[in-house]
Structure 1
Amino acid sequence: MQLATPHLTSNLTPQVGRRVSLRSSAALGWQGFGVEMLGIPAGEHRIPATTHHRIGVHVGTPVKARCLCDGRRVARIQAHGDADVIPAGLDGVWTDESDCTILRIWISDEFARTTAGQLHLNPARAHIRPQFQLRDRRLHYLVWALRAELEAEEASDALYAESLCTAVVVRLLEGAPEPDNRRRSLAPNAAARVIDFIESNIDKHLTLAELAALVDFSVPHFKVLFRETLGMPVHQYVIHRRVERAKTLLLQGRLSVTQIALEAGFAHQSHMAHWVQRLLGATPREIVKSGRDGLDDHRILPAGKA
């Protein structure tokens, strides 16, 4: 995956022309990757090489466009969902005949290398190759899910975005194996180790990498095993446990709502309120009141994507 290119820059958003950042994941606590919605004016844009891999996905009405990258000239009608995959170390020139919007995903080379290593791929063959006007249904599903996280009023736990980005890398890596859908599960002692760690660190920022390392599995493998064992993805399990912790503290009534949010691992009070309402069907204030009245009928409700 190493690309030897001089004059690399670590600038995640090369500013050429009048590109405008409409929305960014910078404040969401994602590590090793990010997502940004960019407004791109008509005209030519020279994008320098970076130390990150980039995926640019066209959003909205079709636009006539051209690009020069990796020694290739491509002229096309860029339609909604069309993606350009630009590996670290490649620069290029993109020309759009009309204003357009691009959803840009960046992935650090370290994140991609770690994922490739966990898949036990041959380092000489495991790489992300440049692709232009890519149309891949499974990749689109992952990209739009990341966009939904970017635009959500309250984003899910960062574990969910990490899981999506890991799947993006697996999809783009050359030589990555097709997923094995045979039913498997974590051994009971391994599952207990992961669950105990989550409970003991529920107030901290958890990552898939550290959870997978507890049981010596790759992140992609661990995600499958965890879901088969617990009946839900890792990020859903963690958000459910955060809500249960918050509920317990709210019923005890000894801490402020702000303190409880932090103790339960939420980013802030409104983040906690969103998930408590969604999973318990009640506001934090209503739960506090039920505790004072000696009532507690707030249980985790069936939920969709957490």
Structure 2
Amino acid sequence: MSPLHQLQVFNAMHSSPNARLEASAQMGEGLAAALWRNRDDARDYLAPSHHTLSCYIADGTGTFRRQRPGDKGAPNKLCIMPAGHESNWVVNGTIRLAHLYISEEQFALGCIRLLDREPREMQLHEATFLDDPQQALRFHQLIGLDWNEPAERLLASSLAHAIIDHAVLGQAGLRQGLRLKGGLAPHQRRHLVDYIEANLDQPLSLNELALRCNLSEYHFARMFRASFGLPPHQYLLARRLHQACRLLRQGDLPLGQVALLCGFASASHFSNRFRQAMGATPGEYRAALGRIELASR
């Protein structure tokens, strides 16, 4: 994901002389979080390239959208601001709120994994001052963690992914009037998903995947991206890392074996890719999970 200062909603808040950033962190590939305080302010969000989920942690009773002055915020209210949306906000008084910034690629992975839908036919529905106690509780748990401490940041990342999954399942719907052009046929997409999941321990070249759809590499790469919302190598890496996290959580296999089971050429390659995506090496991730488990007993 882009550095935090390149995310439009984050940058709009950060540019305000009245807003104060309490904490921020990357929570993994395509995912970041921030905790803010603000007062007596006005902020405009103009077609950001990322999705933003927000939860009012405290106050906010004087906050409203400029076009809806009679509809006011309150603690535990949630807002969903999809990529490409435009909104204008007025803050009267004080507010403390948490933001979760989600890339289009991360949303695409959720659509494929949870909904078995092409991301381009789905949209995250905009919502203002939504009541969702389960999501609000997750946000409160998220901000209760120390994002600078590796073990707690990994737990925060897990919570952030749970928030995304909940939003995809509950707030994503079909785009109205959309006519899909190009891309893979639904049966080809499902076949590829199943084939990749069953063969994550194999090299899985672009040519091999293209042959399974009887396409040239060039056309396959274009059609895959149209249907999956991200290129083949990025999707494959995301699935390998997801499998690696599952194996690290569930057992004590040697890290070299985990690397091979997830299709990485070597333990060092696995470690580098894992650290880039998760902010910790596989060994640190496993150790952090162990500390979290001990602390919960």
TM-score (ref. length: structure 1): 0.54
Distance in 2 (CA, whole Å) between partners of 1:173 and 1:160 is 20
Whether 2:114 is the aligned partner of 1:104: answer: no
DSSP-derived class of the 1:45 partner: strand
Q: Distance in 2 between matches of 1:210 and 1:161?
A: 23
Q: Does 2:11 correspond to 1:13?
A: yes
Identical aligned residues as a percent: 12
- Structure 1: runs of 5 or more not aligned: 1-8, 177-186, 198-207, 227-233, 246-261, 282-300
Q: Which residue of 2 aligns with 1:126?
A: 122
Amino acid in structure 2 at the alignment position of 1:44: A
CA 1:148–1:211: 2 relative to 1, 3 Å: farther
Shift of 1:125: 5.2
Structure 1 pair 158/84, CA: closer, same or farther in 2 (3 Å)? closer
Alignment check: 8 A CA contact 2:47 2:83 kept? yes
1:136 and 2:132 matched? yes
SS at 1:127 equivalent = strand
Unaligned stretches of 5+ residues in structure 2: 1-5, 176-193, 204-233, 256-270
Matched with 1:287 is: none
Contact 2:57 2:140 in 1 (8 A): no
Query: CA 1:129–1:10 in 2, change beyond 3 Å: closer, same or farther?
Result: same
Larger Rg: 1
* Residue 79 (structure 1) aligned with residue 58 (structure 2): no
Among 260, 268, 290, which residue is 1:279 paired with? Answer: 290
Distance of 2:105 and 2:237 partners within structure 1: 18
**Distance in 1 (alpha carbons) for counterparts of 2:143 and 2:201:** 29
CA change 1:32–1:134 in 2 (3 A) is same
CA deviation string 1:74-127 (max 9, x = no partner): 434422210111111222221122121110111112221332244233667521
- Alignment counterpart, residue 34 of structure 1, candidates 29, 32, 36: 32
Does the aligned pair in 1 maintain the 2:60–2:93 contact within 8 Å?
Answer: no
SS at match of 1:25: strand
Bigger helix fraction: 2
Q: What is the SS of the residue equivalent to 1:98?
A: strand
The equivalent residue for 2:258 is: none
The answer to whether the Cα contact below 8 Å between 2:53 and 2:100 also exists between their aligned partners in 1 is yes
What letter is aligned with 2:75?
A: H
Code of the residue aligned with 2:20 in structure 1: it is: V
Q: Would the aligned equivalents of 2:23 and 2:34 in 1 still touch at CA under 8 Å?
A: yes
Q: How many residues align?
A: 220
Q: Cα 1:169–1:64, aligned 2, differ >3 Å: closer, same or farther?
A: same
Matches of 1:66 and 1:241 in 2, distance apart? 48
User: What is the CA distance between 1:166 and its match in structure 2?
Assistant: 4.1
CA spacing shift, 1:65–1:235, aligned 2, 3 Å: same
Secondary structure of residue in 2 paired with 1:79 = coil
Task: Say if 1:196 and 1:23 are closer, same or farther in 2 by CA, change over 3 A.
Answer: farther
AA partner of residue 238 (structure 1): L
Q: 1:149, CA displacement in angstroms?
A: 4.9
Deviation at 1:196, TM superposition (A): 10
The residue type paired with residue 248 of structure 2 is: V
Distance 1:166 1:100, change over 3 A: closer
How far has the Cα of 1:19 moved from its partner? 2.0
CA contact (8 A) 2:55 2:77 kept: yes
Residues of 1 paired with 2:253 and 2:162: CA distance? 22
Aligned counterpart, 2:264:
none
**C-alpha RMSD of the superposition:** 4.7
Q: Does the aligned pair in 2 maintain the 1:32–1:111 contact within 8 Å?
A: yes
| Aligned residue identity for 2:11 | T
Partner of 1:171 in structure 2? 170
- CA deviation after TM superposition for structure 1 residue 209, in Å: 5.6
Counterpart for residue 248 of structure 2:
238
Contact 2:49–2:84 (8 Å) recurs in 1: yes
Alignment partner of 1:78: what SS?
coil
CA contact (8 A) 2:63 2:92 kept: yes
Match of 1:42, SS? strand
Q: Please give the alpha-carbon distance, in whole angstroms, between the structure 2 residues aligned to 1:277 and 1:38.
A: 27
Deviation at 1:140, TM superposition (A): 2.6
The structure-2 alpha-carbon separation of the partners of 1:125 and 1:243, relative to structure 1 and needing over 3 Å to count, comes to: closer
